[in-house]
Amino acid sequence: MLRGQSVEGKIVRVIVETVHPLNDKQQTHVHKKLQVLLPTKKVECFFKLNPSLLSGIRLDFGTLIVDDSVQAKLNDFVAQTKESLPVALSARSIMTHIEKHLKDFNNQPVVHTVGHVVSVLDGVARVVGLPDLMAGELVAFTSGAKGIVLNLNSEFVDVIILYASENIREGESVVGTRSKVTVPVGFGLLGRVINALGQPVDDLGEIAHTGYRVMQMPAPDLLSRVPVTKPVHTGILGIDALLAIGKGQRELVIGDRQTGKTTLLIDMILSQHECNKQARSLTDKMFCVYVAIGQKQSSVRDLIQVLTKAGALEDTIIVMAGASESAAMQYLAPYAGCAIAEYFRDNGMNAMVFYDDLSKHATAYREMSLLLKRPAGREAYPGDVFYLHSRLLERAGQMSSEYGGGSLTAIPVIETQEGDVSAYIPTNVISITDGQIFLESSLFHQGIKPALNVGLSVSRVGGAAQTPIMKKIAASVKLELAQYREVLAFSQLSSDLDVATQKLLNRGVRLTEILKQSQHQPLSLAEEVVRLLVGTKGYLDAIDLDIIPEFLKGLYPYVQKHAEDVIESIRVFGDLIDDEMALLDQTLQAYAQNFKSINERKEE
């Protein structure tokens, strides 16, 4: 039982724990057995009652524990089963998994070493006496705190403490759990606010989860994926028309602080909720996971209120690691959110995870690494900061039908300083993702919201993930906006412009007006199509800029009333036949003429 284990000291004091008291004969028998096992030591036994063992015996050698109790074996079985438990909707598959583990279960005493804390400083505990720990293993302190092993050395390990670090004292005992950090997953998390460990923080009671999932899982292999071709409707016209996002894509939102990055994410979540109302099955729905990293609690509370008011919280899970929480919790939060979203992906559904933001995530990891005395590199970040984000974002993707056909779409956020996209962390994440949505401060202050810089923004999936109708009409918008930006710079240097240039500038400034949207008011696909067509067909060219918002306000209700079948075709099929396109064109022309006539009468 003790073969291969080291018990230090010439005198070995053993605490023998049992459920019921042992008589003198039994105590003598235990003492002799231990003395035979340790012939070169003098064994001293101390007998203690421990009803929590249920049955059996537990031997505590100080640096080594041999637990042959029923409770230890039950805990060991649960830990092994939970770590590899399939996160499936079928109760039958879960029962089959448990039965298999029961057959294979090794009914041997649980042997583990006990370490001790030698120092605690700034949330990092240095522990000795645990040579069999693995990197990333969860360890438990006797004070109730838990931590993760990050540094492995020949004589000690460094543990980053997750919570309750103030209770840890030097000399305290530490044991390994033989498991990585896991998070609960399942439909029971929808509508809830949890921390990075999956514990509820919304005062709504316990979470009815389906199972557990290891936070830091490897990304799906290449053969299990298929190209990104299915569109994600964000409800933001500038994105859906010019920078289409597909299911399984990784699209970065980047910009300075206070440029509307979080508002953009909220609008995407609200749009998914509206789309989910029309979903025919679970596989047509898009479930959202919002991860708040290093944010103020008041900001997250405001976001929750917006989602609750719109009813969108029922399709959303919020993982919160606020600015007041430890760097370790902020480090874990994105991986927790990704693992939760993977539950839906692996069960043939669609999930969208928002990391707001990864700049603060990198800062938290830098803080941890410096405390662990790891070598600092560029901007004091550790050398593996690229791997920190690549292993997270690579988990997004569209799975093939053989692997369930689910998808995981990742929307990371990066905060820049003075618009500098060439800094270390921004360039890292740009190189990992499939495109970026760049929000510019100058546009934001000009009142262009969302402050989308069309020139610097890009989607490497693009038209492959657009609906057919959007692909038809958006191509001309991209071209006209590109020409407008090019001519605009030269027009500021000259007051004498030819007719063609004036027409191009006139069209470009009106297309820019069309792309403006009020916050928390995502558009349906039909609304986006109608808006784009009225701009590209030139019906806005004769409308003054200051009354365009009024024009757009009455546009969609008029089209709904006079071309209802066209709107329904866009909603159901995502495309229009020639006759329907002609009818829509006539309706838009009629509305423009009516609006112009009414406006002229007002002026008279």
Q: What is d(CA 565, CA 577) in angstroms, rounded to the nearest whole number?
A: 12
Residue 24 makes CB contacts below 8 A (sequence gap 6+) with none
**CB 373: neighbour CB atoms within 10 A?**
10
Among this protein's residues, is 460 annotated catalytic? yes
Q: What is d(CA 508, CA 480) in angstroms, rounded to the nearest whole number?
A: 7
b/e sequence 26-61, b meaning 16+ C-beta within 10 Å: eeeebbeebeebeeebebebeeeeeeebeebbbbbb
Strands, E, within 303-462: which ranges? Answer: 316-321, 350-356, 397-398, 407-415, 435-439, 458-459
**CB 443: neighbour CB atoms within 10 A?**
20
261 neighbors 413 (Cβ within 8 angstroms): yes
CA 77, 80, 81, 82 dihedral sign is positive
Q: Find residue 110's DSSP bridge partners.
A: 67
Q: What is d(CA 202, CA 205) in angstroms, rounded to the nearest whole number?
A: 8
Q: Which residue has the tokens 């060991």?
A: 76
Question: Could you tell me the end-to-end alpha-carbon distance of the chain, in angstroms, rounded to an integer?
Answer: 101
75 neighbors 82 (Cβ within 8 angstroms): no
Q: What is d(CA 338, CA 343) in angstroms, rounded to the nearest whole number?
A: 9
21 neighbors 49 (Cβ within 8 angstroms): yes
Nearest one of 77, 142, 75, 79 to 115, comparing CA atoms: 142
Cα angle for residues 177, 393, 199 (degrees, 5° grid): 40
DSSP label of 402: G
DSSP per residue, 534-565: HHHTTTTTTS-GGGHHHHHHHHHHHHHHH-HH
536 neighbors 585 (Cβ within 8 angstroms): no
Which of 374, 391, 460, 485 is the catalytic position? 460
Q: Which residue has the tokens 């079928």?
A: 90
Q: What is d(CA 458, CA 532) in angstroms, rounded to the nearest whole number?
A: 19
DSSP per residue, 557-584: HHHHHH-HHHHHHHHHHS---HHHHHHH
Q: What is d(CA 342, CA 407) in angstroms, rounded to the nearest whole number?
A: 8
> Quick one: how far is CA 451 from the chain centroid?
24
435 neighbors 458 (Cβ within 8 angstroms): yes
Positions marked catalytic: 460
